[in-house]
A and B are shown apart, each in its own frame.
Chain A
């Protein structure tokens, strides 16, 4: 995915991205203060909000020409919290990730079933499959949300503050799994976070929204440390 001179926002430019190349097999942490446009940035990239100007291209195709179903096969998005649904079992929930691929009645083929099971084993949460989503902990539900996005088989996975509602060990566990997924399945993963230290440890590059100007900056992990990050993003 390549971004060039992209202006994002609702009616006026909230953020500007001069150039950014998102590469397969890499994991990106998106850092910025509240209200600076992290979610808007991600929603623009997955095509839920139109860009004000500039382009997003995937391969050599502009993302603006994609149909809803094409988008759903290319971009996965994990909301910061899945609160569970009454009477819905974990497996039922994760299997919904296959929706873009199933027939008009949502019938799962053997292949679909295999992919669902594979997602459970990739995240090592097979034991949750038959539990009700309402009865699980926030950490377990976050894993399920990631399993669902895996079954969607998208090249790009976006996560909106995936660690916000988790305790320390669950935060680490989720981020470790995300790295594993990016490397082993050769996906592009972008997640926003306020856990700066964790984000520094668990990412290849940091995409920063500076607190003073509206132009996004991107740093390789080795080029920035905790204090530098705080200075740029929060002043």
Chain B
């Protein structure tokens, strides 16, 4: 019975997404009619500035909001399951800080693993992976969830301190680039970059759908998962790999976005009341997209009077939600 109910709820979420799209489009600073929107795709005129806005700004911004929201939420869900802790997430555990640190290094010292656009992405990915493995390594020694979260926060302030030193030493132009990046933005993405982002996103998502069964067993803890025939070493590695790719990707293009990865999976569990990842995973994927699109609508609505970075909005909405989850859990 509850399977049917959950499928219905998933469908409802799926219907909300196009509605969110319409609102997102309508909330834009310059109002553009829907006929112009369709013309921009069907009868594209490169001298028409409205067409360019649709193709180069509105559309990639919406797509990026969806992808970033989904990627961070799914990463958060998998980290919560892996570490058996509802307060885990890519931001809290310092995966984001890894990306930030490596991006800061490459922006302010000029050192990159690869040249051009791909340089920044690879820095963010490698940063996420390095910090992911540090957290994983520490998690072997430390079993209590709360200590792990504290270590994640320490990693965050440690890399924060290194970044401050870099900022102090770097020149004005690089500093400005990094500061803008660190505020988080969904507008930096260009349409031409979307295929690459989509490719990595889908690879990450497909891989995560193939580990729903181990994830379900991990909910009971690693010992129980092992007793059910799951090879925990491989799955642990795979989870860190997937979350590092998804988080690193988003962080590279949008900057560090807080709280989505923590808040959305908890919200999904409250709505769906299950621990079955065959439901939790698609639900986090869709709700994550809806959530970040909604946050970006808020950004757009205030754009003229108060230019808010996306990170401020996700924190303003996400932080109280997380406090609520904690209070609710402890009160029980």
Kindly state the separation between the CA atoms of A102 and B223 in the bound complex, as whole angstroms: 19
B199-236 contacts to A (CB < 8 Å): 209-210, 212-213, 216-217, 219-220, 223-224, 226-231
The stretch of B138-146, B147-155, B268-276 that contacts the partner chain? B268-276
Q: B58 near A: Cβ within 8 Å? A: no
Q: How many whole Å from B97's CB to the nearest CB in chain A?
A: 28
Residues of A close to B272: CB separation below 8 A:
87
Q: How many whole Å from A221's CB to the nearest CB in chain B?
A: 29
Q: Are A71 and B229 in contact, CB atoms less than 8 angstroms apart?
A: yes
Contact of B229 among A48, A86, A100, A105 (CB under 8 A): A100
Kindly state the separation between the CA atoms of A73 and B227 in the bound complex, as whole angstroms: 9
Kindly state the separation between the CA atoms of A162 and B228 in the bound complex, as whole angstroms: 19
Residues of B close to A140: CB separation below 8 A:
none
Kindly state the separation between the CA atoms of A117 and B217 in the bound complex, as whole angstroms: 19
Q: Are B216 and A96 in contact, CB atoms less than 8 angstroms apart?
A: yes
Kindly state the separation between the CA atoms of A76 and B231 in the bound complex, as whole angstroms: 16
Q: Are B216 and A106 in contact, CB atoms less than 8 angstroms apart?
A: yes
Kindly state the separation between the CA atoms of A104 and B269 in the bound complex, as whole angstroms: 23
Q: Mark B21-35, 1 if CB is under 8 A from A, else 0.
A: 000000000000000
Q: A228 near B: Cβ within 8 Å? A: no
Q: Mark B270-285, 1 if CB is under 8 A from A, else 0.
A: 1011111010000000
B213-272 contacts to A (CB < 8 Å): 213, 216-217, 219-220, 223-224, 226-231, 269-270, 272
Q: A102-B213, A105-B212, A106-B213 are in contact. Are A86 and B228 (CB under 8 A)?
A: no
Residues of A close to B216: CB separation below 8 A:
96, 99, 106
Q: A65 near B: Cβ within 8 Å? A: no
Q: Are A99 and B228 in contact, CB atoms less than 8 angstroms apart?
A: yes
Residues of B close to A105: CB separation below 8 A:
209, 212-213, 278
Q: A152 near B: Cβ within 8 Å? A: yes
Contact of A99 among B2, B217, B275, B278 (CB under 8 A): B217
Q: Mark A111-146, 1 if CB is under 8 A from B, else 0.
A: 000000000000000000010100000000000000
Q: A104-B213, A105-B213, A106-B212 are in contact. Are A88 and B275 (CB under 8 A)?
A: yes
Q: How many whole Å from B30's CB to the nearest CB in chain A?
A: 44
Q: How many whole Å from B122's CB to the nearest CB in chain A?
A: 31
Q: A201 near B: Cβ within 8 Å? A: no
Q: Are B230 and A88 in contact, CB atoms less than 8 angstroms apart?
A: no
Residues of B close to A77: CB separation below 8 A:
227
Q: B94 near A: Cβ within 8 Å? A: no
Kindly state the separation between the CA atoms of A79 and B222 in the bound complex, as whole angstroms: 13
Kindly state the separation between the CA atoms of A86 and B274 in the bound complex, as whole angstroms: 8
Residues of A close to B217: CB separation below 8 A:
96, 99
Q: Are B275 and A85 in contact, CB atoms less than 8 angstroms apart?
A: yes
Q: Are A79 and B224 in contact, CB atoms less than 8 angstroms apart?
A: yes
Closest to A134 in B: B332
Residues of A close to B209: CB separation below 8 A:
105
Q: A210 near B: Cβ within 8 Å? A: no
Residues of A close to B2: CB separation below 8 A:
89, 130
Q: B86 near A: Cβ within 8 Å? A: yes
Q: Are B229 and A69 in contact, CB atoms less than 8 angstroms apart?
A: yes
| B contact residues, total (Cβ < 8 Å) | 27
Q: How many whole Å from A153's CB to the nearest CB in chain B?
A: 12
Q: How many whole Å from B319's CB to the nearest CB in chain A?
A: 21
Kindly state the separation between the CA atoms of A75 and B228 in the bound complex, as whole angstroms: 9
Q: A204 near B: Cβ within 8 Å? A: no
Contact of B274 among A71, A87, A96 (CB under 8 A): A87
Kindly state the separation between the CA atoms of A88 and B223 in the bound complex, as whole angstroms: 18
Closest to A154 in B: B227
A43-99 contacts to B (CB < 8 Å): 46, 48, 68-69, 71-73, 75-77, 79, 85-89, 92-93, 96-97, 99
Q: A87-B275, A89-B2, A92-B276 are in contact. Are A97 and B213 (CB under 8 A)?
A: no
Residues of B close to A86: CB separation below 8 A:
86, 269, 275, 329
Q: A69-B229, A104-B213 are in contact. Are A79 and B223 (CB under 8 A)?
A: yes
Residues of A close to B86: CB separation below 8 A:
86
Q: Are B229 and A68 in contact, CB atoms less than 8 angstroms apart?
A: yes
Kindly state the separation between the CA atoms of A120 and B116 in the bound complex, as whole angstroms: 61
Q: Are B226 and A68 in contact, CB atoms less than 8 angstroms apart?
A: yes
Residues of B close to A106: CB separation below 8 A:
212-213, 216, 278
Contact of B230 among A93, A97, A99 (CB under 8 A): A99
Kindly state the separation between the CA atoms of A93 and B2 in the bound complex, as whole angstroms: 15
Other 15 A-B pairs with CB < 8 A, given A87-B272, A96-B216, A104-B210:
A68-B226, A72-B227, A79-B224, A85-B219, A85-B220, A85-B275, A86-B275, A86-B329, A87-B274, A93-B220, A99-B228, A99-B230, A105-B212, A106-B212, A106-B278
Q: What residues make up the interface of A, taking CB atoms closer than 8 Å to B?
A: 46, 48, 68-69, 71-73, 75-77, 79, 85-89, 92-93, 96-97, 99-100, 102, 104-106, 130, 132, 152
